[in-house]
C-alpha cells in the first residue's frame, strides 16, 4: 500500500457529487456515509488517501472518517472487490433451503474463500446476512441484481461465467 503518494484520488466529479449532499444535512459529518458510497461506487474500495480527502471536504480529521468506515465492513480498503460482488445470503430462511451448501460450493468452484477476489478481478464472493428477499430463498445479490431460488447448478454456472472456466 503506497500511502506516501499524494496524488489526489477524488476526481472533480466525485467532489461535486459529495458536495451536492451538503445542503441536506445540518452537519458536514452526516455526509460521511454518502461520501464513502460515492467513492466506493467508482473505485470498489475506499483507500486511505480517499479517507484523508473526504476528511478535508467534511472538515473532519481523517481518523474520524476512518473510525466510521472501519465500523462498516461494507467498505473495503486495501484492494478493490471484484467487478461483481456476489453476496450469498446465509441467514435462516436461506439456510433452511441450502444456502450454506451453495456458498461452500461456489467457493470450491472458484477456489476462493469468502471475501476474496478472483485472480481475473471479476468476482468477489461474500456471505451476507438476510437480504430481505427470504421469499426467494436461497438468494444472492450482485450489485442491483437479485438472483432467486439458487441451486448448486445455477450458482456454479454463475461463478464459471465470471471466472472464465
Residues that bind ligand FES (CB under 6 A): 89, 91-94, 130-134, 137, 139
Q: Of another protein, ligand FES, none, which one sits near residue 139, judging by CB under 5 to 8 A according to partner kind?
A: ligand FES
Show the DSSP H helices in the chain as ranges.
12-19, 32-43, 48-58, 62-71, 92-95, 99-110, 152-163
CB of 15 or CB of 130, closer to another protein: 130
CB of 122 or CB of 152, closer to ligand FES: 152
| Segment contacting another protein by CB under 8 A, of 5-13, 85-93, 153-161 | 85-93
Q: Which three cell numbers stand for residue 4?
A: 506516501
CB of 69 or CB of 88, closer to ligand FES: 88
Of 106, 128, 140, 162, the one binding another protein (CB under 8 A) is: 128
Backbone angles phi and psi of 84, in degrees to 5: -110, 130
H/E segment holding residue 89: strand 84-89
Which residues are CB-neighbours of 114 under 8 A, at least 6 positions away?
103, 107, 125, 126, 127
Q: Of another protein, ligand FES, none, which one sits near residue 87, judging by CB under 5 to 8 A according to partner kind?
A: another protein
> In this structure, are residues 39 and 60 in contact, taking their beta carbons and an 8 Å threshold?
no
61 touches another protein (CB under 8 A)? no
Show the DSSP H helices in 44-135 as ranges.
48-58, 62-71, 92-95, 99-110
Question: Residues in the site for another protein, rule: CB under 8 A?
Answer: 24-27, 29-34, 36-37, 58, 67-68, 70-75, 87, 90-93, 95-97, 113-116, 126-137, 141, 143-144, 146
Amino acid at each position: 500500500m503506497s500511502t506516501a503518494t499524494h496524488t489526489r484520488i477524488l476526481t472533480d466529479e466525485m467532489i461535486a457529487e459529495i458536495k451536492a449532499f451538503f445542503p441536506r444535512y445540518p452537519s458536514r459529518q452526516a455526509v460521511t456515509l454518502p461520501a464513502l458510497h460515492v467513492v466506493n461506487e467508482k473505485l470498489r474500495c475506499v483507500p486511505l488517501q480517499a479517507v484523508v480527502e473526504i476528511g478535508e471536504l467534511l472538515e473532519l480529521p481523517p481518523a474520524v472518517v476512518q473510525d466510521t468506515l472501519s465500523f462498516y465492513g461494507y467498505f473495503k480498503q486495501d484492494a478493490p472487490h471484484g467487478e461483481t460482488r456476489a453476496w450469498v445470503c446465509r441467514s435462516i430462511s436461506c439456510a433452511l433451503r441450502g444456502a450454506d451448501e451453495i456458498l461452500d460450493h461456489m467457493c470450491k468452484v472458484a477456489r476462493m474463500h469468502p471475501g476474496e477476489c478472483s485472480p481475473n478481478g471479476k468476482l468477489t464472493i461474500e456471505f451476507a446476512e438476510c437480504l430481505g428477499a427470504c421469499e426467494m430463498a436461497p438468494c444472492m445479490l450482485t450489485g442491483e441484481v437479485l438472483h432467486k431460488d439458487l441451486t448448486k447448478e445455477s450458482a456454479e454456472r454463475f461463478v464459471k461465467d465470471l471466472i472464465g472456466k
